[in-house]
Amino acid sequence: MKYMKKVKLSILTSVLAVGLTIGGTVGNVHAAESKGNIEVLLNAKKISFPDAKPYQDSQGSVMVPIRFVSEALGAEVGWTKANGQLTVELKNTEHTVNMTVGKATATIDGNEKSYGTKIVLQKNRTFVPLRLVSEGLGQTVEWDKISRWVWIGKKNALTLEEAGLKPVSLDPYRKWFSKAKDLLKSPREDINFNEVLIFKVSDLPTKFLREIYSVELYSESKTNASYLKVRAKTSSGSGDIFYLTKKNDIRYRNPMSSLTINNGDGTKYCFYKIWSPADKTLNGIVDQSPLKIQDIEYIGFYGGTQNYIPLMINPWKGN
């Protein structure tokens, strides 16, 4: 377990390095809410919007193109145009919702209700308040201000396999592990990994040992140091990760405990360095220039009970 012993030592090296490089900047990291696009999740799986995207209007209401959300919820959508007005009807086996473009009210099962935000027509798509659609069709809705997500229904993340992805042979990726063979052995079971499961950041959230909600690129404001910012549902941390680089080596990373943010909702933001001096001091890797996010092919997640290595394609690697 020579490689893993070096990895554990890197925790101390990384903590010392943070003290030397970012000094008193930890206070700037706590304001780390996502600035990304609004995502809508149904039973913890993201709904795809191929053209018109959800947005938040001036009143704070999340507006969604009605067709995609309604169909994901199993409802039929119908449009009627009469006397210069466009009326939309949603119907499932239990509920009926009627609404008119330009109005802020809707009729749900015969009862009129105001949502404070007008239904609008943009880019040939009808946008309605998400709360109107989901509540009108009998679904629970929760706004997640940390990631700017809307959760509809269940919040339990699926495993990658439950989401329909399948492991593949490790062989095409084995070259990266030639000097890190300990990573091919499960830390929780007496098994050796012979498969990997390749996934994309768009497949998140997912469940390994813990639920991983998101992975984002983050730059510290004062030093411009780069990190991966991982949001995980956890009472401790988000675990260790490693990078498979274009230099055909592996760089192991521990979460920076001094930067961890408790979001107060059962999730934490954990930060991982892109470049670390531990690569040289512990593993003898000498970079002609500091490792950049573009130098990383895959991001691996260590630990868990699955019998494969989860590898996320680096969305920032470029060509």
Q: What's the per-residue H, E or C state across the chain?
A: CHHHHHHHHHHHHHHHHHHHHCHHHHHHHCCCCCCCCCEEEECCEECCCCCCCCEECCCCCEEEEHHHHHHHCCCEEEEEEECCEEEEEEECCCCEEEEECCCCEEEECCEEEECCCCCEEECCEEEEEHHHHHHHCCCCEEEECCCCEEEECCCCCCCCCCCCCCCEECHHHHHHHCCCHHHHECCCCCCECCEEEEECHHHCCEECCCEEEEEEEEECCCCCCEEEEEEEECCCCCCCEEEEECCCCEEEECCCHHHCEECCCCEEEEEEECCCCHHHHCCCCCCCCCCCHHHEEEEEECCCCCCCEEEEECCCCCC
Same domain, 185 and 123: no
Q: If you average pLDDT over every residue of the chain, what do you get?
A: 86
Domain boundary pick from 145, 173, 192? 145
Residue 165: domain span? 2-33+157-313
Domain boundary pick from 145, 165, 200? 145
Q: How confident is the model at residue 3 (pLDDT cuts 50, 70, 90)?
A: very low
Same domain, 201 and 304: yes
In a domain, 319, yes or no: no
With 80 as the cut, is the pLDDT of residue 19 above it? no
Same domain, 178 and 289: yes
Q: In the chain, how many domains are there?
A: 2
Same domain, 139 and 230: no
Same domain, 163 and 232: yes
Same domain, 165 and 308: yes
In a domain, 318, yes or no: no
pLDDT tens-place string over residues 286-295? 888 899 999 9
pLDDT tens-place string over residues 89-124? 999 999 999 999 999 999 999 999 998 899 999 888
Same domain, 279 and 130: no
Same domain, 213 and 288: yes
CATH number, position 95: 3.30.457.10
In a domain, 151, yes or no: no
Instruction: Compute the average pLDDT of residues 142-157.
Output: 93
Same domain, 29 and 116: no
Same domain, 79 and 125: yes
pLDDT tens-place string over residues 169-219? 999 999 999 988 889 988 776 778 999 999 999 999 999 888 999 999 999
With 50 as the cut, is the pLDDT of residue 2 above it? no
Give the pLDDT score at 52: 87
